[in-house]
Structure 1
Amino acid sequence: MQKNREFNVWIVEDDVMFKESLEDLMNVYNEFNLVHSVDSVEKAIQVFGVKEKPDIILQDIGLPGLSGIEAISIYKKLYPEVFIIILTIFDDDERVFDAIKAGADGYLLKRTPGTEIVNGMKQVLNGGASISPPIAKKMMRMLVNPSTKKKTESVLTDRELVILKYLVDGLTINAVAEKLIISRHTVDTHTKNIYRKLHVHNRINLVSVALKKGLI
């Protein structure tokens, strides 16, 4: 996350009270510039290319018309570099994994305190993942098979496996570089190779695949 820079935020939420609370929250923090706030995916799509490009979108799932999950792939096609955090009341297995598979960069429950939502946004902008603790526990429970002791043979090098563990633990690229006493560029190169080899596109996908393959 670059210092002294405002990040453009879009909100897509049909619950009026919650949308207004998010708007108020964004207006408190100087690093966030609330550009657009609407109650449907269709309205958000209409202003892509008209309003200032979003750096991060706070997105509900249960919306009139297109769902928040359907919207993720649309947003990513329009702006591949945009970060998307799902904010929802739903914590069921199907919706969680549908959102992750679609490319969500974070998944937070609406009961998450405002300060933690902001911290989650900063984590995502720093290249991390933002997941509510109950969702993280659910992912672990669903993905880890206690009876499977043998790990899948890894396609990653030893150094990539070390970096993978740090990434899954939530460390930023800079923090990993400091831990391993190597350059940020080297860590970034290894990270791109890890993503390519595991066929993932963001940190949440990485956690999911790493757990499923028994790499961590």
Structure 2
Amino acid sequence: MIPFNIWIVEDDTGFRRILQRMLNRVDHITCARTFPSCEDLFETIDEDVHPDLLLMDLGLPGMGGVEGIQKLTQVAPEITVVVLTVFNDKQKVLDALDAGATGYLLKTASHEEILMGLQNVFLGGAALSPSIAKIVLQEMRKPEPSEEFDLSDREVEVLEQLAKGLSVQEIADALDIAHRTGRFHLSRIYEKLQVQSQAGAVAKALRAGII
């Protein structure tokens, strides 16, 4: 496994320590820094050392998690953000993904599910708790498809597969196309939807009624 470094923003001291211990037990993961608020994070983020991935709570004192994600995409866009929260309502999910989060996990997830989600994100995929994916897909009404983004039929098919939680390779297999072709379609989707991640693409496509 490729080693990677994770930081945590979580105001619950007990849960923050549990998370840090859990992550540091994994051979290829290091979690050296944790923060009780976004304000504390941004006092440090200007330093040369950045994490590969940041676990962000949403219900934080002061600056909220969504605002923190938005600011992070401006000051350190190379950092990948995964939400880990108790909030499972549709609006918070879409707001976080629109802000730039690559994944959205619930605190009710097992340690194994959290670790698997983080690993998927680090390897270039997305992470959505199954219940979050279900909430988004069930509660979003499906209006007439929007032509605003000028997506091709194939790009819409790729988005539909993304919404099922498939990786790029799985999408390529499902659509009988080359992996390189799947990645090309994904890059075009990002460009047209003006998003930074697979999860953001799915959220924006759902909002626009594309899928």
TM-score tier (shorter):
0.7 to 0.9
Q: 1:31-66: CA deviations, max 9, x gaps?
A: 211131121111111111436311111111122221
The answer for unaligned runs of 5 or more in structure 1 is none
The alpha-carbon distance between structure 1 residues 142 and 180, as it changes in their structure 2 partners (threshold 3 A), is closer
Return the offset for 1:113: 0.8
1:202 is displaced (CA, Å) by: 1.5
**Paired position in structure 2 for 1:166:** 161
* Cα pair 2:100 2:195 within 8 Å, conserved: no
The separation in 2 between residues aligned to 1:59 and 1:162, in whole angstroms, is 31
Q: How far does residue 23 in structure 1 lie from its aligned partner after superposition?
A: 0.7
Aligned twin of 1:102:
99
Unaligned ranges ≥5, structure 2: none
TM-score by length of 1: 0.85
Percent of aligned positions that are identical: 37
Aligned position for 1:114: 111
C-alpha separation in 1, matches of 2:70 and 2:135: 24
Tell me which residue corresponds to 2:78.
Answer: 81
- Work out the CA distance in 2 between the residues paired with 1:139 and 1:84: 19
What TM-score comes out, normalization by structure 2 length? 0.86
- 1:97, 1:215 → 2: CA distance? 15
Aligned partners of 1:8 and 1:14: how far apart in 2? 20
- Secondary structure at the counterpart of residue 156 of structure 1: coil
Asked if residue 134 in structure 1 is aligned to residue 113 in structure 2, the reply is: no
Q: What does residue 30 of structure 1 align with?
A: 27
Q: In the alignment, is the contact (CA less than 8 A) between 1:11 and 1:38 conserved in 2? A: yes
What do the CA deviations read for 1:131-181 (whole angstroms, capped 9, x no partner)?
Answer: 222322221233233xx5x54457222332333333332232344445556
* 2:151 pairs with one of 156, 165, 182: 156
Name the CA shift for 1:214/1:63 in 2 (closer, same or farther; >3 Å): closer
What residue in structure 1 maps to residue 193 of structure 2? 198
> Per the alignment, in what secondary structure is the counterpart of residue 5 of structure 1?
coil
Across the aligned residues of Structure 1 and Structure 2, the Cα RMSD in angstroms comes to 2.3
Offset of residue 116 of structure 1: 0.5
The alpha carbon displacement at 1:71 in A equals 0.7
Partner of 2:67: 70
Cα deviations across residues 66-122 of structure 1 (Å, max 9, x unaligned)? Answer: 111111012112221221111112223332222122111111221111110111111
8 Å CA contact 1:89, 1:109 repeated in 2: yes
User: Which residue identity is paired with 2:202?
Assistant: V
